[in-house]
Amino acid sequence: MRTTCNRKTLMKMQKLQSTNFNADYRIQALALEALQEAAEWYIVNLLTDANRCCAHAGRVTLQPRDIHLVLDIRGPVDTGNS
């Protein structure tokens, strides 16, 4: 599968998250690919919904408030850190 995000950037983010948990995790390439696919799916769907809000408002330019509206409607994301 062709991905949009840079793989090295995602690897840095994963490494940073593992240090937040004070653990030295190793992650398989297939698992990293799955994380990347899930992250891209989330972002694409977020921006698609935000674009719908933008069109509903009669605008053609996506604004941060459109993204914030979608995030407010969706509610909090469970990160498993609580």
**62 neighbors 54 (Cβ within 8 angstroms):** yes
Q: What is the pLDDT of residues 7-35, one digit of tens each?
A: 777 778 777 777 777 667 777 888 888 88
Question: What is residue 18's predicted lDDT score, i.e. its pLDDT?
Answer: 75
Average pLDDT of the residues in 39-68? 95
Most distant CA atoms of the chain, gap in Å: 49
Question: What is residue 27's predicted lDDT score, i.e. its pLDDT?
Answer: 79
Alpha carbon distance 74, 9 (integer Å): 26
Residue 80, sorted as left (phi over 0), alpha (psi -120 to 50) or beta, turns out to be left
CATH 3.30.300.30 assigned to 7-74 = no
Confidence of residue 73 (pLDDT cuts 50, 70, 90): very high
Confidence of residue 1 (pLDDT cuts 50, 70, 90): low
